[in-house]
Amino acid sequence: MSTKKELPIPPEMQKGVLLKEMTVDDELVQNLEELKESESLGALSVFPQQVTFETQEEDEQVVLVMRKAPVTNIKWALIAGLLALMPAFIVVLGVLSDYLDSSYLLVAMIVWELFVVGYIFEEFLRWFFNIYIVTDRRVVDIDYPNFLWREVSDVDLLKIQDVTTRNQGIMAAIFNFGDIWVLSAAEMTTIEYLAVKEADNVAGIIRLLAQARERVVRGEGGTNDG
Amino acid sequence: MMDSVNGLVSTFEIFFKWLLVLGVLVYIAYALIAIRQVGLMTDSYNTPREDFVKWLARFNFGLALLVLVIVLVVL
């Protein structure tokens, strides 16, 4: 049975008319509060401040903002570390010193390190701008595969048919992250949230928000916002 | 024999120098596009710490310019 509960939103941030009027059940509030305790460096924020996006409606409340778990950056960080050390190996092995002056070698090393910085920069941007947003109306997936390509997809909470989670691998088990697929009934669109922290909890929140939104639209829980 | 070897090394050095210059120029072009893209992304999506990312993009461009100067001065 649903009961009206207080959501853990700071009063100054409450702009989502829909969410405020929703008949929110205990489970949703509890899940959000649990998730708030696991907030981490940019990878997971519950009712985040200063977050807006291009197609956001005026009274749309951002509930969750996520990125891939920070630990997923270890792979490229290790590659970058190895690439940064490569010039040192070349100097030690003396591969090019027979053909090139030492000043040329020094400059070549500096240029190489510049490209390593570029690789780090690009990978960081890819992590930073791959954003997953859950609002009181929809789920949004912003993909940023590289600096020339951006893809934004969203699914209305009312059109969600299925929410699936998958946790696999040692890292996922240790650091508690997983993938979420949100399948839309109408357009057969699938939203992919990859390597998000507390995936099961987040999936639960999406399901509960979808149910709450459905109740609102049916007129069972406050405003009738179609 | 020694002259031809020296000539080959000298040609290789010139080729290498222009290869480095070209590489840095390509990188500068990338850094400029990256500044533009970061600007577009942060205009569309406001998230915390976006000022840091903007700063990072400009730093990347500045670094590339510095390396270009080093390449041109040293070689």
φ and ψ of A194, to 5 deg: -100, 135
Q: In this predicted structure, what is the pLDDT of residue A139? A: 93
Residues 6+ apart with CB under 8 A from B21: B68, B71, B72
**With an 8 Å Cβ cutoff, is B48 touching chain A?**
yes
Q: Look at B42 and B7; give whichever has higher pLDDT.
A: B42
pLDDT classification of A6: cutoffs 50, 70, 90 = low
Q: What share of chain A has pLDDT > 70, as a percent?
A: 84
* pLDDT tens by residue, A181-203: 998 886 677 889 999 988 988 99
**With an 8 Å Cβ cutoff, is A90 touching chain B?**
no
* Residue B14 C-alpha, separation from nearest chain A C-alpha, in angstroms: 10
Beta bridge partners of A142: A131, A152
* pLDDT tens by residue, A135-175: 989 999 998 887 778 888 889 999 998 899 998 888 889 98
Residue written as token pair 């999406």? A206
User: Do A125 and B34 contact (CB within 8 A), yes or no?
Assistant: yes
Give the domain ranges of chain A. 11-68+130-217, 73-125
Determine the Cα–Cα distance for residues A156 and A178; give it in Å rounded to an integer.
Answer: 22
Element (H, E) at A17: helix A17-21
Give the domain ranges of chain B. 20-74
Q: In this predicted structure, what is the pLDDT of residue A132? A: 94
* Chains A, B: CB pairs < 8 Å: 87
Element (H, E) at B72: helix B50-74
**Which CATH architecture describes the domain A11-68+130-217?**
Roll (2.30)
Determine the Cα–Cα distance for residues A23 and A6; give it in Å rounded to an integer.
Answer: 10
Q: Which residue type occupies B36?
A: R
**With an 8 Å Cβ cutoff, is B17 touching chain A?**
yes
Q: In this predicted structure, what is the pLDDT of residue A5? A: 56
* Residue A32 C-alpha, separation from nearest chain B C-alpha, in angstroms: 20
Strand residues in A148-220 grouped as ranges (E): 149-156, 160-166, 177-184, 190-197
Look at residue A223 and tell me whether its pLDDT is greater than 50. Answer: no
A31: number of Cβ within 10 Å: 22
What global pTM score does this model have? 0.83
In eight-state DSSP terms, residue A57 is -
**With an 8 Å Cβ cutoff, is A110 touching chain B?**
yes
* pLDDT tens by residue, A51-85: 888 888 888 888 899 999 999 999 999 999 999 99
Q: In this predicted structure, what is the pLDDT of residue A130? A: 92
